Structure 1
Amino acid sequence: MTGSAARGWQPDVLGGSFESLELPLLPDDEGPVVATLVRHAGANVPAPGKVVLYLHGWADYFLQAELAGRLVAGGFHFYALDLRKFGRSLRSWQTPGYTTDLADYDEDLAAALAAVRADVAERTASPEIPTVHLLAHSFGGLVAALWADRNPGAISTLVLNAPWLELQGSSLIRHVAMQLVEPLARADPRRPLLLPSMPGYWDSVSGTAHGEWDLNPQWRPRASFPIRPGWTKAVLAGHAAVQRRLNIASPVLVMLSGRTRIQAEWSEELMDLDAVIDVDETARRALGLGRRAAVFRYPGALHDVFLSRQAVREEAYDDLLLWLTLYPGEGSGRQAGSQPGTGAGPRAG
């Protein structure tokens, strides 16, 4: 048995230089719960002080191997977290992606940050506490923004790739949706809502359709995960918190496509825009995340900027590496035992 396997790290489904580690969490009403940490474990170990932790979107998991390789080549340790009931962490007895409180993910992030810091210390033989940059996509961007607001000082910067900061349409539609969802969430929170399927974006990404990426059909199904009232209520509460404005202490970068077109079925136009969120409304919401928030727009980008066509994502890689270099963080150089908070903030209502 290799040393990494003996410590719990196992070869990951992505193959190559990727390994994964199961992080046990407290059980919930469906039984045992885990999160899964993925690392790029290439031979070239970067300096101890620079780490990127990636957080996926809804009905999603970490698959962006090219993104990880670029960041490692740029001198960063790279890790990704599959949250409870998503991707590598989804178990057969669980309701996929289900939660009734987005603050439940504080435990996942706390466990991931503790494991990252321990792993970097072991790999680099350094007592320095690494600086962590959190990179989050879509639904994960909403989770990350709320978490960062509750946990000042826990990360150096927050990078949000097309974060889902508002319901598609407007806050007025959200208020109406909450009124409709409230009684359903009380009566039967896990019952799937009867909503139309929207596979157009999946078709733009999947290599079996019009995209170029290999997607696991259980972890990222074409029809997404069923939308349930209990989960919807939690997401709408998160959107309402963003509307009231957050106070994220870290610098925030929001990366968005140039335009939006939300439609159910695929068309050629969907290869050059965001088919999931309203990017203009997201840009407005982004400026209320904290006093140091910037918005970068990428004409021709998909919803996930890092799954867009090559020219677009090359520009995004360059901007991301520059941003991370501009904010090296306050964590570099501290000794073990002096790290900031790692997730133990007040729970969201």
Structure 2
Amino acid sequence: MTSDGWVPDILGDGFEACTFPAAGPDGVERTATLVRHLPGPAAPGSAGETDAPAAPDADRDVPGGRRPRAVLFLHGWSDYFFNVELADFWTGRGFAFYALDMHNHGRSLSAGTHGGYVADLDDYDAEITAAIGIITALHPAAEPAPTVALMGHSTGGLIAALWANRHPGLVSQLILDSPWLEMHGSPAVRRAARTMVEPLARFRPEAVIRLPERSFYWRSISSAAEGEWTLDDTYRPPRAFPVRAGWLSAVLAGQSRVARGLQIEVPILVLISGASANGMFWKESMRRTDAVLDVNTIALRALSLGRTVTLERIDGALHDVFLSAPRVRADAYARLARWLRAYVLDDAGTA
């Protein structure tokens, strides 16, 4: 362990982790883990060679040309950060890359706690704010404070949007990868689910809701099945953590806030698959669609986030567009790079 608390990370060379406590608005202290990427001349990949585009020189920082830039990534529910390629993409464009394993997830799991559980999405606020504070403190005092972009996937995208709305001015851009902004189907499904779940969540928040267990998405991404990504089943169980009443109620409440409209002022990019596939049985189309969310519903709800929203639909993409087949995620990275050239500006206002 270094003197500032950083230790070698499970991802190996080029990655370090720092575990820290943060007290939420309810006064409860929770543990989260910040991961950082320290790229070297040959940073390793988690899944072999890919077609992700390399950063052109014009995308890189030049001394004295721009303020330092950083990005903080939030994973989805029942997940953790493992995508080395994503980290390489960001550092290749001059960003310091960080990822947060939020409390009760991944590197922050501890014995005796319910994996993935939270009773209020606001409970993540303290650790996200603390992580940004750590990121800022790591930069030399003589330099300008870095701008921080916030990126979130799935439930992490919902959490990121709500946090950015409650904390204006702390992040410079918001990038959402298949954010879980609405229930599958329509707002009516969410309202009906909330009516049924809230009484149980009020009196027995940790009660498990028995839902059909499906591992179709895990099957499409894990190298232990038919995907290409090496996953740690301790951190990301194939069938996900049990769904508990309090957690589902928290998600439904967060989605309701989005439905009423947020006022996020920074530029927002939303990336989703071109199509969804749902059902109780595996279908081959699940290899090239979002098998978790209703992408058409998400596309509509994204317009409720703020005044400047860009939507990119990635044909052939999975639920996490950056875990899709190499050709598909190369398209996603190219679209993300194009958006960054448009919306990540230096202090003089030029790209």
Q: What pairs with 1:150-229 in structure 2 (closer than 5 Å)?
A: 150-229=166-245
Report % sequence identity.
46
Q: Distance in 2 between matches of 1:269 and 1:325?
A: 33
CA RMSD of aligned residues (A): 2.1
Deviations, residues 93-134 of structure 1 (Å, cap 9, x unaligned): 211111111111110111100011112x14xx6421101111
Cross-structure match for 1:135: 151
Q: Distance in 1 between matches of 2:164 and 2:28?
A: 28
- Residues 83 and 166 of structure 1: is their aligned pair in 2 closer, same or farther, counting only changes over 3 Å? same
Q: Distance in 2 between matches of 1:117 and 1:329?
A: 19
Partner AA of 1:40 in structure 2: H
Deviations, residues 253-283 of structure 1 (Å, cap 9, x unaligned): 1000000011244332111000000000100
User: Are 2:125 and 1:106 aligned?
Assistant: yes
| Equivalent position to 2:80, from 52, 61, 65 | 61
Runs of 5+ in structure 2 lacking a partner?
Answer: 42-59
- Residues 105 and 29 of structure 1: is their aligned pair in 2 closer, same or farther, counting only changes over 3 Å? closer
Q: Distance in 2 between matches of 1:315 and 1:161?
A: 14
Cross-structure match for 1:88: 107
Contact 2:25 2:126 in 1 (8 A): no
Q: Distance in 2 between matches of 1:30 and 1:189?
A: 18
Cross-structure match for 1:270: 286
Deviation at residue 24 of structure 1 after TM alignment:
1.4
Deviation at residue 26 of structure 1 after TM alignment:
2.7
Deviations, residues 2-45 of structure 1 (Å, cap 9, x unaligned): xxx22111110011201111121238999862111000112479
Partner AA of 2:5 in structure 1: G
Q: Distance in 1 between matches of 2:24 and 2:152?
A: 25
Deviations, residues 213-245 of structure 1 (Å, cap 9, x unaligned): 011111111111111111111110111111111
Alignment length, in residue pairs? Answer: 326
Q: Distance in 2 between matches of 1:14 and 1:256?
A: 27
Task: Name the TM-score, length of structure 2 as normaliser.
Answer: 0.88
Cross-structure match for 1:337: none
Deviation at residue 153 of structure 1 after TM alignment:
1.2
Q: Which has the higher contact order (CA 8 A, sep 6+)?
A: 1
Contact 1:204 1:266 in 2 (8 A): no
Runs of 5+ in structure 1 lacking a partner?
Answer: 334-349
SS in 1 for 2:304: coil
SS in 2 for 1:6: coil
Q: Distance in 2 between matches of 1:263 and 1:211?
A: 20
- Residues 281 and 199 of structure 1: is their aligned pair in 2 closer, same or farther, counting only changes over 3 Å? same
Deviation at residue 46 of structure 1 after TM alignment:
6.2
Deviations, residues 168-219 of structure 1 (Å, cap 9, x unaligned): 1211111111111111112211011111002111100100001000111111
Task: Name the TM-score, length of structure 1 as normaliser.
Answer: 0.89
Q: Distance in 1 between matches of 2:211 and 2:272?
A: 26
